[in-house]
């Protein structure tokens, strides 16, 4: 059995190995087709929860967690495991009931956390593009990240670039032993795979101590409007991603 994140950030058991999806698939508009599954996936509280991987004749499709509108309009292998339904498209947007291809799924914790590591790297790139500077701007900087949620991957990467990161996060208050060790391992794989010159010590120390490196990351359990005055004007850089949607 594999383990994968649950809605509260823990892990739960999943079926092992690949499973063949049985026809008929139901047309959901445009290039999108659906099939019911026995396991619940993404939902409004965690829209990237599912570790499901979809294969067409043994070739991995994607990207996963695509919006259903993107699947209908663009297709090309996009898919979404939403609640107990798989929304998907064929690689060439053909009818999967008639194209003679084999569709299989697999639940993979490794791929799940690799996805979240890639996502964290994308957020870091987003931050840097708006700062208009190279990574050296983070070395020695006091950084405030507002509303990072459970992920904290960007904070870990910024710590590796020499920043001290304070995370204002009311709902996810720090180290989760069923989440962050796997994410850090995925981040280390990403750093080495991409050949990034990032100090791995804050990440490795977090793994070894089963807690965030206190010299690199601080979790402030507040909403930004409730942040005590003593913390104000403490940071060189303030960053946030996907927060205004909650305002």
Region 81-110: mean pLDDT is: 96
206 and 128 co-located in one domain: yes
178 and 58 co-located in one domain: no
> How many domains does the chain contain in total?
2
Residue 12 confidence class, pLDDT cut points 50, 70, 90? low
175 and 93 co-located in one domain: no
Please list, residue by residue across 42-80, b when 16 or more beta carbons sit within 10 angstroms of its beta carbon and e when fewer do. Answer: beeebeebbbbbbbbeeeebeebbbebebbbeebbbbbb
Range of the domain at 72: 2-107
The answer, yes or no, to whether residue 192 has pLDDT greater than 90, is: yes
38 and 102 co-located in one domain: yes
Provide the mean pLDDT of the chain.
89
DSSP type of residue 1: -
14 and 95 co-located in one domain: yes
Output the 3-class SS for 92-154. CCCCCCCCCCCEEEEECHHHHHHHHHHHHHHHHHHHHHHHCCCHHHHCCCEEEEECCCCCCHH
The answer, yes or no, to whether residue 174 has pLDDT greater than 90, is: no
pLDDT tens digits along 118-133: 999 999 999 999 898 8
233 and 125 co-located in one domain: yes
121 and 241 co-located in one domain: yes
Q: Which of 70, 89, 107 is the last residue of a domain?
A: 107
Per-residue confidence (pLDDT) for residue 49, from 0 to 100 = 83
100 and 120 co-located in one domain: no
């Amino acid at each position: 059995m594999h383990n994968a994140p649950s809605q509260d950030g823990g892990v739960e058991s999943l079926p092992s190995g690949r499973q063949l999806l049985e026809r008929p698939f139901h047309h959901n508009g445009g290039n999108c087709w659906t099939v019911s599954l026995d396991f619940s996936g993404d939902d409004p509280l965690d829209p990237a929860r599912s570790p499901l991987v979809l294969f067409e004749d043994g070739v991995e499709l994607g990207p996963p967690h695509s919006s259903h509108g993107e699947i209908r309009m663009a297709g090309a292998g996009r898919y979404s495991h939403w609640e107990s339904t798989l929304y998907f498209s064929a690689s060439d947007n053909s009818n999967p009931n008639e194209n003679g291809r084999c569709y299989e799924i697999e639940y993979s914790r490794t791929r799940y956390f690799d996805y979240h590591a890639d996502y964290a790297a994308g957020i870091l790139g987003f931050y840097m593009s708006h700062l208009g500077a190279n990574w050296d701007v983070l070395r020695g900087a006091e950084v405030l990240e507002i509303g990072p949620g459970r992920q904290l991957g960007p904070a870990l990467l910024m710590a590796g670039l020499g920043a001290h990161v304070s995370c204002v996060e009311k709902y996810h208050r720090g180290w989760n032993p069923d989440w962050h060790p796997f994410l850090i391992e995925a981040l280390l794989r990403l750093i080495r795979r991409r050949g990034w010159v990032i100090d791995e010590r804050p990440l490795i120390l977090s793994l070894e101590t089963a807690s965030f490196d206190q010299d690199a990351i601080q979790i402030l359990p507040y909403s930004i409007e409730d942040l005590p005055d003593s913390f104000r004007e403490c940071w060189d850089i303030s960053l946030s991603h996907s927060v205004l949607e909650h305002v």
